[in-house]
Structure 1
Amino acid sequence: MDFETRQSGGTLQIDVLASRIDAACAIQFKDRMRELCAGGPARVILNLQRVDFLDSSGLGAVVAAMKYLGCDRSMELAGLTPKVRKVFRLTRMDSVFTIHASVEEAFGNGSSVA
């Protein structure tokens, strides 16, 4: 699974370059996220704009990555496609994560979408 990262001030942006986060790659996703987030800044924005499919294993991997950050760091999501947004809404995980319509919004006005 491929990622691109950018760091700006106290924020690490991680772009997921895969179209799916599912059972086939969930463990690889979690391991790679731990590597990318280790010792990083307090705010992480996970850009999911290219992800068109997320199953329960993928959702669990995203949650595990958030938990890895601990209490003093945060993970925000950006660019959710309609299918992925629906998974977060149906599981009520949209109330756990701050979700931005786009990365630009996450860095801009900071308002969230449901």
Structure 2
Amino acid sequence: MTLFTQESGFVRIDVEGERLDAAVAPTLKAELEKNLPPRPEKVLVDISGVRFLDSTGLGVLVSLLKMMDSGGMLAIAGAQPVVQRLFKLTGMDRVFRLFDTDVEAMAALAGDASAAN
């Protein structure tokens, strides 16, 4: 299950569950397509509970990026060390903006340059 909330100026997506893999990725992608407003400009994805991410899960995050406004910002918060390693190994740490906490991600979405990684 994924929680979608509208914060001040951005959409927040809290990914619940310890795995974001081939078993759950299709459901998450369908939830994104159903619940996201058209072409959102700013999105925060909190994956702090995710302990395992595979290429299919990464693919869903890439799909989310493609659903966004062309000048939009996607901030990913709370990636665990093992998940961060996958982002680095695949080079996706250069595609996505990763933040240790949701507070840092929210500051970046609000335009606070000191919060950016």
Structure 2 spans left out of the alignment, 5+ residues: none
**Superposition pairs of residues 5-24 of structure 1, within 5 angstroms:** 5-24=4-23
Root-mean-square deviation (Å): 1.6
Kept in 1: contact 2:40–2:68 (CA 8 A) = no
- 1:12-51 maps to which residues of 2 (within 5 A)? 12-39=11-38, 41-51=40-50
Q: How many angstroms does 1:77 deviate by? A: 0.5
How far residue 8 of structure 1 moved from its aligned partner, in angstroms, is 2.0
Deviations 1:38-82 (A, max 9, x none): 337410000000000001111111111111214133221110011
* TM-superposed deviation, 1:28: 1.1
- Residues 18 and 51, structure 2, Cα contact 8 Å, conserved in 1: yes
Aligned residues: 111
Corresponding residue number in structure 2 for 1:102: 101
Aligned twin of 2:116: 111
In the alignment, the residues of structure 2 paired with residue 50 and residue 27 of structure 1 have an alpha-carbon distance, to the nearest angstrom, of 18
Distance 2:71 2:104 in 1: 22
Q: Give distance in 2, aligned partners of 1:37 and 1:72.
A: 16
- Partners of 1:40 and 1:96 lie apart in 2 by 18
Call closer, same or farther: CA 1:78–1:54 in 2, change over 3 Å: same
Letter in 2 for 1:50: G
Give the TM-score normalised by structure 1.
Answer: 0.87
2:66 equivalent to 1:67: yes
Structure 1: runs of 5 or more not aligned: none
Q: Is the 8 A contact 1:37 1:69 kept in 2?
A: no
Partner residue, 2:75:
76
TM-score (norm 2): 0.85
